[in-house]
Amino acid sequence: MVEPILKWAGGKRQLLSEITAQFPVAFDRYHEPFIGGGAVFFHLEPDAGSLNDLNDRLTTLYEVIRDRDPEVLIEENRSHEHSEEYYYDARDEFNELHAVADKTDQQRLREASLFVYLNRTCFNGLYRENSSGEFNVPVGRYANPDWVQADRIRALHEVLQDTTIHNEDFEYVREAATAGDLVYFDPPYEPVSTTANFNDYHAEGFGKDDQKRLRDLAVDLDEAGVSVVLSNSPPVAELYEEYDQFEVNVVQATRAINSDADNRGEVAEVLITNVPVDEQRRTTLSSFE
């Protein structure tokens, strides 16, 4: 199992056993249209497939890790300093680079390195942008943060070699996935109570219409012979109730990243899948991977 390089709000490290238990034992390629920190992807270490995210800074980082000599990024990471003044200078540089339309290879490398540095030294590991698209999280308070991440970069470089990286809408996977493949969806959402109505559901940038598009895509993938697993907020489950091919399970997840310490406890999530129970890893393997 490879460890993710980034801290990421909504990451699935606490649910890896539950999620992968619903995966089929055998599949061809693996696709993850909302990669985020990539906890599930890197836990699985798929031989081939695709990943995607609308955050182009994120996909640039994964492209740099895949395509460049890992030692080059590691050395760039070692150039950073641990001070509040340096942090805010680095944040300004990160935002300036984001505004560059056609980046050189060196600029892409620098942006990727700054992303890792800022993620590992910012407040609570958060990723947040203002209305202008500028990363605006303040510095965190860490005694000895590790932003070099040498071992993880080397490991991720190997895992990503046969992975196609996209920076577009999640529906790209309609063409990318074929019969026998596995798609895991983990869209942006704000977990809410299991008794909430779907009309109470809201997530900035990914609302009810997007959830319906995602449901329709899951139905189409099912009809095409693609295995589908989704993690989502409990109210979204009602979108799948009329489809007998989908199984819904409620699980408890620990929210580890939140600016409010009182909101870092357990929250309910649902796992939705079209993988038949007798083909899932939880019923065909003696233990979770």
Structure tokens at 223: 């009809």
Query: Tens digit of pLDDT per residue, the chain (289 long)?
Result: 899 999 988 767 778 999 999 999 999 999 999 999 999 999 999 999 999 999 999 999 999 999 999 999 999 999 999 999 999 999 999 999 999 999 999 999 999 999 999 999 999 989 999 989 999 999 999 999 999 999 999 999 999 999 999 999 999 999 999 999 999 999 987 666 656 666 555 445 788 899 999 999 999 999 999 999 999 989 999 999 999 999 999 988 765 554 454 555 567 899 999 999 999 998 754 443 4
- Give the closest residue to 83 by CA, choosing from 147, 132, 134: 147
Task: Sketch the domain layout of the chain as residue ranges.
Answer: 1-54+168-289, 56-162
Q: Regarding beta strands 49-52 and 247-254, do their DSSP bridges make them parallel or antiparallel, or are they unpaired?
A: unpaired
Per-residue pLDDT tens over the stretch 204-222: 578 889 999 999 999 999 9
Q: Which residue has the tokens 């489809």?
A: 243
250 contacts 269 by C-beta, under 8 angstroms: yes
Fold of 56-162: Adenine-specific Methyltransferase; domain 2 (1.10.1020)
Q: Cα(198)–Cα(214) distance, rounded to whole angstroms?
A: 15
CATH number of 1-54+168-289: 3.40.50.150
The model's pTM is: 0.90
